[in-house]
Amino acid sequence: MDSQIAENFRRLLSEAKGRNIAVAGHMRPDGDCVSSALSMFEILQAAGANVKCLNKNEVPHLYKNLAQFEFESTETFDPKGWDILLVDCSDLSRVSPALKEKLGDVYACIDHHESGTSNAKIMCIDKSAGATAEIIALCATEVGAKISRRAANLLFMGIATDTRQFTTSSTRQESFEAARRLVRLGADPNAVAQELYQRERAQKMALLSVYLGTLKRLCQGRVCVGFLRRADFEKTGAQKEDTDGLVDFARSIDGVEIAALLEELEDGSVKGSLRGRTPEYSVNKIAEYFGGGGHLAAAGFTAKNQTFDTILPKFEELCRKSLDRDL
């Protein structure tokens, strides 16, 4: 990892004493986002800051036991007197459009996304990191910050979820190095795995079953897309957070090179989750066309005033270009 990133992290901690810092992650938080926000809460508090953790949504079911913490809502938060640290995203529009309206500058940012622009004063950005939690684990151990057993478990969880158990194309030597340091600090991989992979809600499995039933192949079968409508959530009792990970099942099918989950939202927009078999397909560029972004092999968007029918023709065209490496 670039030594400048650890230097910037050191600066973040050295400026923390007496400062009000609100740590904010992207809406619909995933394991990496929860992990990054809560571990920075502990680390900044130990450095003498007054800290809050914000999110538009709640801590998802699977991460609740490890987190033992609830977020304060971005929607009711009054930013006056608070400096913002963004984690696992580089743009306030991913945190909360309402909060973006109220805020001027972002104080600091720790992130690993390919897309997004941050004009933060202190930046710890490493686009080749497997997870934001990986950046935090490496920097915190580098600068000698104290990491509790709880934070070590959370950070391990963040790396394990974003790297799909250390198997994504973003998994690198430093991902294992960070995990090694965390286990040394008391993280328990099996205890984390029991929380993550043996506690699924039955309603989520019902939603998965609906999703699998809608799968459709495009581009000579190389693209696989499935759909979730609002009624599917009522029918199964599933929650919004239960969509996390479903698209991986579409990608897991032999012959599928790009997979997508398209979800109908209440406000007349469509949320897309995209996965590529290899980073060469740059699915972030497909997501960017619809106003989103992400990584080369995993990206997403929320497109306003759209339906599945209005999205699909353009989506198919972009997938074809992407498969031809022409995006």
DSSP at 297? S
Give the bridge partners for 300, in sequence order: 273, 293
Does residue number 162 form part of the binding site for Mn ion (CB under 5 A)? Answer: yes
Give the footprint of ligand AMP on residues 300-319 (CB under 6 A): 300-302
Nearest Cα neighbor of 166 from 180, 153, 154, 152 is 180
Please, which residue, 32 or 232, has the CB nearer to ligand AMP? 32
Does position 227 interact with ligand AMP (CB under 6 A)? The reply is no
Span interacting with ligand AMP, options 49-57, 202-210, 251-259, 295-303, rule CB under 6 A: 295-303
- Does residue 129 touch Mn ion according to CB under 5 A? no
Looking at beta carbons only, is 35 or 273 nearer to ligand AMP? 273
> In the set 295, 296, 311, 318, which binds ligand AMP (CB under 6 A)?
295
Whether the CB-CB separation of 319 and 219 falls below 8 Å is answered with yes
293 binds, among ligand AMP, Mn ion, none (CB under 5 to 8 A by kind): ligand AMP
- Pick from Mn ion, ligand AMP, none: which does 29 bind, CB < 5 to 8 A by kind? none
- x-marked contacts with Mn ion along 1-40 as a string, rule CB under 5 A: -----------------------------x-xx-------
Q: Where are the beta strands (DSSP E) in the chain?
A: 20-25, 50-55, 72-73, 83-87, 108-111, 122-125, 216-218, 223-228, 258-264, 270-276, 293-294, 298-303
Phi, psi at 118, each rounded to 5° = -120, 135
Indicate whether 56 belongs to the interface with ligand AMP (CB under 6 A). Answer: no
Q: Evaluate whether 311 touches 262 at the Cβ level (below 8 Å).
A: yes
Q: Which does 195 bind (CB under 5 to 8 A by kind): ligand AMP, Mn ion, none?
A: none
Q: Is 292 in the site for ligand AMP (CB under 6 A)?
A: yes
CA–CA distance, 86 with 284 (Å, rounded to integer): 20
Report the chain's terminal Cα–Cα distance, integer Å.
29
Of 114, 42, 29, 122, the closest CA to residue 84 belongs to 122
Site size toward ligand AMP (CB under 6 A) is: 14
Of the candidate spans 8-16, 119-127, 169-177, 289-297, the one that interacts with ligand AMP by CB under 6 A turns out to be: 289-297
Contact flag: residue 62 with ligand AMP (CB under 6 A): no
* Cα distances (angstroms) measured from residue 117 to each of 6, 98, 112, 137, 143: 20, 18, 11, 23, 26
